[in-house]
Structure 1
Amino acid sequence: MGNGKLAVLQGMRSDELKARHQEYCKSSGGRDAYDETINIIGEDVVDVIVCQQEQSDTPASEVGTATITPYYTPSITLVPPNRNAPVNSNYTLDGYMHYSTNAGGEYSLAMAADKCSISNGGIVGSNVYNGRLNIRVVCVSHNAGTWPVYLNGCIPGLCATAIGEVRARH
Protein backbone atom coordinates (compact mmCIF):
# COMPACT_ATOMS: atom_id res chain seq x y z
CA MET A 1 0.00 0.00 0.00
CA GLY A 2 1.20 3.59 -0.54
CA ASN A 3 1.57 4.29 3.19
CA GLY A 4 4.18 1.56 3.76
CA LYS A 5 1.66 -0.95 5.06
CA LEU A 6 0.84 -4.35 3.58
CA ALA A 7 -2.64 -5.79 3.06
CA VAL A 8 -2.53 -9.54 3.74
CA LEU A 9 -5.44 -11.30 2.07
CA GLN A 10 -7.14 -14.49 3.22
CA GLY A 11 -5.28 -17.60 2.16
CA MET A 12 -1.84 -15.93 1.76
CA ARG A 13 -0.17 -17.85 4.62
CA SER A 14 1.79 -21.00 3.88
CA ASP A 15 0.30 -24.27 5.15
CA GLU A 16 3.19 -24.57 7.64
CA LEU A 17 2.63 -21.07 9.03
CA LYS A 18 -1.14 -21.60 9.22
CA ALA A 19 -0.62 -24.87 11.15
CA ARG A 20 1.74 -23.11 13.58
CA HIS A 21 -0.81 -20.32 14.16
CA GLN A 22 -3.64 -22.83 14.66
CA GLU A 23 -1.57 -24.74 17.23
CA TYR A 24 -0.78 -21.53 19.16
CA CYS A 25 -4.48 -20.53 19.24
CA LYS A 26 -5.55 -24.03 20.27
CA SER A 27 -3.00 -24.05 23.13
CA SER A 28 -4.51 -20.82 24.48
CA GLY A 29 -8.08 -22.16 24.27
CA GLY A 30 -9.05 -20.32 21.10
CA ARG A 31 -9.22 -20.76 17.36
CA ASP A 32 -7.26 -19.16 14.52
CA ALA A 33 -9.26 -16.18 13.21
CA TYR A 34 -6.55 -14.73 10.95
CA ASP A 35 -8.12 -15.62 7.61
CA GLU A 36 -11.56 -14.16 8.41
CA THR A 37 -10.65 -10.73 7.07
CA ILE A 38 -7.94 -8.72 5.36
CA ASN A 39 -5.15 -7.89 7.80
CA ILE A 40 -3.32 -4.59 7.37
CA ILE A 41 0.21 -4.76 8.81
CA GLY A 42 3.00 -2.23 9.29
CA GLU A 43 6.48 -2.43 7.82
CA ASP A 44 8.19 -3.70 11.00
CA VAL A 45 5.84 -6.70 11.41
CA VAL A 46 7.47 -10.12 11.06
CA ASP A 47 4.44 -12.30 11.91
CA VAL A 48 0.84 -11.95 13.17
CA ILE A 49 -1.42 -14.42 14.96
CA VAL A 50 -5.11 -13.67 15.61
CA CYS A 51 -6.98 -15.94 18.03
CA GLN A 52 -10.64 -15.83 19.08
CA GLN A 53 -12.42 -17.59 21.91
CA GLU A 54 -16.13 -17.26 22.68
CA GLN A 55 -18.35 -18.78 25.35
CA SER A 56 -22.02 -18.39 24.55
CA ASP A 57 -25.13 -19.30 26.44
CA THR A 58 -28.08 -20.96 24.82
CA PRO A 59 -30.09 -18.23 23.05
CA ALA A 60 -33.26 -18.87 25.06
CA SER A 61 -34.54 -21.08 27.83
CA GLU A 62 -38.00 -21.96 29.02
CA VAL A 63 -39.13 -21.37 32.59
CA GLY A 64 -42.67 -22.64 33.00
CA THR A 65 -44.59 -21.13 30.10
CA ALA A 66 -42.22 -18.16 29.57
CA THR A 67 -39.22 -18.07 27.25
CA ILE A 68 -36.25 -16.21 28.74
CA THR A 69 -33.46 -14.87 26.54
CA PRO A 70 -30.28 -14.06 28.48
CA TYR A 71 -29.01 -10.48 28.23
CA TYR A 72 -25.32 -9.67 28.45
CA THR A 73 -24.44 -6.02 28.91
CA PRO A 74 -22.12 -5.05 26.04
CA SER A 75 -18.65 -4.57 27.46
CA ILE A 76 -15.05 -4.36 26.30
CA THR A 77 -11.88 -4.64 28.37
CA LEU A 78 -8.65 -4.00 26.48
CA VAL A 79 -5.27 -5.22 27.72
CA PRO A 80 -2.44 -3.60 25.73
CA PRO A 81 1.15 -4.82 25.88
CA ASN A 82 3.52 -3.15 28.33
CA ARG A 83 7.04 -4.53 28.05
CA ASN A 84 10.76 -4.15 27.49
CA ALA A 85 12.18 -5.15 24.11
CA PRO A 86 15.72 -5.63 22.76
CA VAL A 87 17.07 -3.26 20.10
CA ASN A 88 17.79 -4.69 16.61
CA SER A 89 15.95 -7.89 17.40
CA ASN A 90 12.51 -9.45 17.12
CA TYR A 91 10.07 -9.04 20.00
CA THR A 92 6.45 -10.02 20.61
CA LEU A 93 3.48 -7.81 21.45
CA ASP A 94 0.25 -9.39 22.75
CA GLY A 95 -2.94 -7.32 22.84
CA TYR A 96 -6.21 -8.67 24.23
CA MET A 97 -9.85 -7.63 23.92
CA HIS A 98 -12.27 -9.28 26.35
CA TYR A 99 -15.93 -8.68 25.50
CA SER A 100 -19.53 -9.63 26.08
CA THR A 101 -22.47 -8.88 23.80
CA ASN A 102 -25.92 -10.04 22.80
CA ALA A 103 -25.65 -8.51 19.34
CA GLY A 104 -23.53 -10.52 16.97
CA GLY A 105 -21.81 -8.66 14.17
CA GLU A 106 -18.51 -7.21 13.09
CA TYR A 107 -15.60 -6.44 15.37
CA SER A 108 -12.42 -4.49 14.74
CA LEU A 109 -9.16 -4.70 16.64
CA ALA A 110 -6.04 -2.65 15.89
CA MET A 111 -2.70 -2.35 17.66
CA ALA A 112 0.07 0.09 16.76
CA ALA A 113 3.53 0.69 18.21
CA ASP A 114 5.59 2.94 15.94
CA LYS A 115 5.98 1.06 12.60
CA CYS A 116 4.74 -2.22 14.07
CA SER A 117 0.98 -2.25 13.54
CA ILE A 118 -1.89 -4.59 12.77
CA SER A 119 -5.50 -3.90 11.91
CA ASN A 120 -7.92 -6.82 11.92
CA GLY A 121 -11.66 -7.46 11.88
CA GLY A 122 -14.13 -10.30 11.87
CA ILE A 123 -17.37 -11.49 13.39
CA VAL A 124 -18.43 -11.85 17.03
CA GLY A 125 -21.23 -14.22 17.88
CA SER A 126 -24.57 -13.50 19.56
CA ASN A 127 -25.19 -14.02 23.28
CA VAL A 128 -21.48 -14.09 24.13
CA TYR A 129 -20.85 -13.73 27.84
CA ASN A 130 -17.11 -14.35 27.71
CA GLY A 131 -15.32 -13.51 24.46
CA ARG A 132 -11.62 -12.91 23.91
CA LEU A 133 -9.59 -11.80 20.92
CA ASN A 134 -5.80 -11.94 21.04
CA ILE A 135 -3.49 -10.33 18.50
CA ARG A 136 0.11 -11.54 18.78
CA VAL A 137 2.50 -9.52 16.63
CA VAL A 138 6.19 -10.28 16.15
CA CYS A 139 8.00 -7.02 15.42
CA VAL A 140 11.57 -5.90 14.90
CA SER A 141 13.03 -2.93 16.75
CA HIS A 142 15.59 -0.65 15.15
CA ASN A 143 16.27 2.07 17.70
CA ALA A 144 16.44 2.43 21.46
CA GLY A 145 13.60 4.42 22.98
CA THR A 146 10.16 4.29 24.50
CA TRP A 147 6.94 4.51 22.52
CA PRO A 148 3.22 4.00 23.19
CA VAL A 149 1.26 0.96 22.06
CA TYR A 150 -2.29 1.90 21.06
CA LEU A 151 -4.90 -0.85 21.25
CA ASN A 152 -8.31 -0.01 19.75
CA GLY A 153 -11.22 -2.42 19.78
CA CYS A 154 -14.88 -2.35 18.74
CA ILE A 155 -17.84 -4.72 18.94
CA PRO A 156 -21.34 -3.82 17.70
CA GLY A 157 -22.33 -0.60 19.49
CA LEU A 158 -19.21 -0.18 21.64
CA CYS A 159 -15.57 0.89 21.14
CA ALA A 160 -12.63 1.42 23.50
CA THR A 161 -8.97 2.45 23.44
CA ALA A 162 -6.13 1.52 25.80
CA ILE A 163 -2.46 2.53 25.78
CA GLY A 164 0.52 0.40 26.77
CA GLU A 165 4.24 0.97 26.29
CA VAL A 166 7.28 -0.63 24.67
CA ARG A 167 10.75 0.22 26.02
CA ALA A 168 13.53 -0.76 23.58
CA ARG A 169 16.92 -0.97 25.25
CA HIS A 170 20.40 -2.18 24.26
Structure 2
Amino acid sequence: MTDVLPDPVLSKARTVLDVLKTAELMVVTAESCTGGLVAGALTHHPGSSSAVAGGFVTYSNSMKQTCLGVPADFFPRWGAVSEQVAQAMVEGALAHAREADIAVSLTGIAGPDGGSATKPVGLVWFGVQRRGRQALTQERVFTGNRTSVRAQAVLHALEMVQAAV
Protein backbone atom coordinates (compact mmCIF):
# COMPACT_ATOMS: atom_id res chain seq x y z
CA MET A 1 0.00 0.00 0.00
CA THR A 2 2.76 2.47 0.83
CA ASP A 3 4.35 1.98 -2.60
CA VAL A 4 2.10 4.83 -3.78
CA LEU A 5 3.47 7.16 -1.12
CA PRO A 6 6.60 9.15 -1.89
CA ASP A 7 9.56 9.14 0.48
CA PRO A 8 8.78 12.61 1.94
CA VAL A 9 5.40 11.31 3.14
CA LEU A 10 6.96 8.23 4.73
CA SER A 11 9.63 10.44 6.29
CA LYS A 12 6.93 12.70 7.77
CA ALA A 13 5.18 9.59 9.13
CA ARG A 14 8.43 8.62 10.88
CA THR A 15 8.67 12.10 12.41
CA VAL A 16 5.05 11.98 13.59
CA LEU A 17 5.62 8.57 15.17
CA ASP A 18 8.64 9.91 17.04
CA VAL A 19 6.64 12.90 18.29
CA LEU A 20 3.77 10.66 19.39
CA LYS A 21 6.12 8.24 21.15
CA THR A 22 7.92 11.04 22.98
CA ALA A 23 4.58 12.42 24.17
CA GLU A 24 3.36 8.87 24.96
CA LEU A 25 0.27 9.36 22.83
CA MET A 26 -1.64 7.00 20.51
CA VAL A 27 -3.35 7.95 17.25
CA VAL A 28 -6.31 6.45 15.41
CA THR A 29 -7.25 7.23 11.80
CA ALA A 30 -10.65 7.53 10.14
CA GLU A 31 -10.11 7.51 6.38
CA SER A 32 -12.27 7.66 3.32
CA CYS A 33 -10.55 9.01 0.19
CA THR A 34 -7.11 7.80 1.32
CA GLY A 35 -8.32 4.26 1.90
CA GLY A 36 -6.01 3.56 4.83
CA LEU A 37 -2.89 5.26 3.51
CA VAL A 38 -2.41 7.40 6.63
CA ALA A 39 -2.43 4.30 8.82
CA GLY A 40 -0.30 2.55 6.21
CA ALA A 41 2.31 5.33 6.23
CA LEU A 42 2.51 5.25 10.02
CA THR A 43 2.64 1.45 10.32
CA HIS A 44 5.21 1.24 7.52
CA HIS A 45 7.79 1.95 10.23
CA PRO A 46 8.93 -0.61 12.82
CA GLY A 47 7.78 0.12 16.34
CA SER A 48 4.64 1.92 15.22
CA SER A 49 2.46 -0.19 17.52
CA SER A 50 3.52 1.97 20.44
CA ALA A 51 1.89 5.04 18.84
CA VAL A 52 -0.80 3.72 16.47
CA ALA A 53 -4.02 2.36 17.94
CA GLY A 54 -5.46 1.48 14.53
CA GLY A 55 -7.64 2.87 11.83
CA PHE A 56 -11.06 2.88 10.23
CA VAL A 57 -11.39 2.79 6.45
CA THR A 58 -14.92 4.00 5.88
CA TYR A 59 -15.22 4.52 2.16
CA SER A 60 -19.00 4.25 1.91
CA ASN A 61 -21.53 6.40 3.72
CA SER A 62 -23.03 3.35 5.39
CA MET A 63 -19.62 2.41 6.82
CA LYS A 64 -19.17 5.96 8.10
CA GLN A 65 -22.50 5.55 9.89
CA THR A 66 -21.93 2.00 11.18
CA CYS A 67 -18.29 2.24 12.23
CA LEU A 68 -17.99 5.88 13.25
CA GLY A 69 -21.51 6.93 14.13
CA VAL A 70 -21.84 9.65 11.48
CA PRO A 71 -25.54 10.59 11.51
CA ALA A 72 -27.39 9.44 8.38
CA ASP A 73 -28.94 12.87 7.82
CA PHE A 74 -25.48 14.46 7.37
CA PHE A 75 -25.12 12.97 3.89
CA PRO A 76 -28.19 14.51 2.24
CA ARG A 77 -27.68 17.78 4.16
CA TRP A 78 -23.97 18.38 3.59
CA GLY A 79 -22.58 15.47 1.59
CA ALA A 80 -19.92 12.94 2.50
CA VAL A 81 -17.21 15.45 1.64
CA SER A 82 -17.98 18.14 4.19
CA GLU A 83 -16.76 19.73 7.36
CA GLN A 84 -19.60 18.17 9.31
CA VAL A 85 -18.76 14.62 8.19
CA ALA A 86 -15.01 15.12 8.81
CA GLN A 87 -15.79 16.29 12.34
CA ALA A 88 -18.21 13.43 13.01
CA MET A 89 -15.65 10.94 11.69
CA VAL A 90 -12.88 12.18 13.97
CA GLU A 91 -15.19 12.25 16.98
CA GLY A 92 -16.43 8.75 16.17
CA ALA A 93 -12.91 7.40 15.82
CA LEU A 94 -11.98 8.69 19.26
CA ALA A 95 -15.19 7.32 20.75
CA HIS A 96 -14.55 3.84 19.33
CA ALA A 97 -10.79 3.64 19.94
CA ARG A 98 -10.59 4.16 23.66
CA GLU A 99 -6.82 3.70 23.81
CA ALA A 100 -6.26 6.52 21.31
CA ASP A 101 -5.43 10.04 22.43
CA ILE A 102 -5.61 11.71 19.02
CA ALA A 103 -7.76 11.00 15.97
CA VAL A 104 -7.46 12.24 12.41
CA SER A 105 -10.09 11.99 9.69
CA LEU A 106 -10.14 12.56 5.94
CA THR A 107 -13.03 12.62 3.50
CA GLY A 108 -12.58 13.88 -0.03
CA ILE A 109 -12.69 13.50 -3.78
CA ALA A 110 -9.45 12.01 -5.06
CA GLY A 111 -10.64 11.76 -8.68
CA PRO A 112 -10.37 11.48 -11.50
CA ASP A 113 -14.19 11.59 -11.39
CA GLY A 114 -16.74 12.66 -8.82
CA GLY A 115 -16.08 16.38 -8.63
CA SER A 116 -18.54 19.21 -9.16
CA ALA A 117 -18.46 23.00 -9.38
CA THR A 118 -18.86 23.31 -5.60
CA LYS A 119 -16.83 20.23 -4.68
CA PRO A 120 -13.99 19.83 -7.17
CA VAL A 121 -11.70 16.85 -7.60
CA GLY A 122 -8.92 17.31 -5.06
CA LEU A 123 -11.19 18.65 -2.30
CA VAL A 124 -10.47 17.02 1.05
CA TRP A 125 -11.93 17.81 4.46
CA PHE A 126 -9.81 16.90 7.48
CA GLY A 127 -10.54 16.59 11.15
CA VAL A 128 -8.16 16.19 14.06
CA GLN A 129 -8.99 15.93 17.72
CA ARG A 130 -7.05 15.31 20.86
CA ARG A 131 -9.11 13.64 23.56
CA GLY A 132 -10.70 16.21 25.85
CA ARG A 133 -10.27 19.03 23.35
CA GLN A 134 -12.34 20.54 20.57
CA ALA A 135 -12.11 19.00 17.10
CA LEU A 136 -10.37 21.10 14.45
CA THR A 137 -11.45 20.84 10.82
CA GLN A 138 -9.67 22.05 7.71
CA GLU A 139 -10.44 22.09 4.01
CA ARG A 140 -7.83 21.75 1.30
CA VAL A 141 -7.97 21.44 -2.48
CA PHE A 142 -5.04 19.52 -3.93
CA THR A 143 -4.01 19.32 -7.57
CA GLY A 144 -2.70 16.49 -9.68
CA ASN A 145 -3.85 12.98 -10.41
CA ARG A 146 -5.50 10.59 -7.96
CA THR A 147 -2.19 9.29 -6.61
CA SER A 148 -0.89 12.82 -6.07
CA VAL A 149 -4.07 14.03 -4.36
CA ARG A 150 -4.03 11.07 -1.99
CA ALA A 151 -0.33 11.51 -1.17
CA GLN A 152 -0.82 15.23 -0.47
CA ALA A 153 -3.82 14.43 1.72
CA VAL A 154 -1.82 11.89 3.73
CA LEU A 155 0.98 14.41 4.23
CA HIS A 156 -1.46 17.08 5.42
CA ALA A 157 -3.17 14.65 7.79
CA LEU A 158 0.19 13.74 9.30
CA GLU A 159 1.02 17.43 9.74
CA MET A 160 -2.30 17.93 11.54
CA VAL A 161 -1.58 15.03 13.90
CA GLN A 162 1.86 16.43 14.68
CA ALA A 163 0.37 19.86 15.41
CA ALA A 164 -2.21 18.28 17.74
CA VAL A 165 0.47 16.73 19.91
- TM-score for the superposition, normalised by structure 1: 0.30
Give 1 or 2: higher helix fraction: 2
- TM-score for the superposition, normalised by structure 2: 0.30
Give 1 or 2: higher strand fraction: 1
Which of structures 1 and 2 has the bigger CA Rg? 1
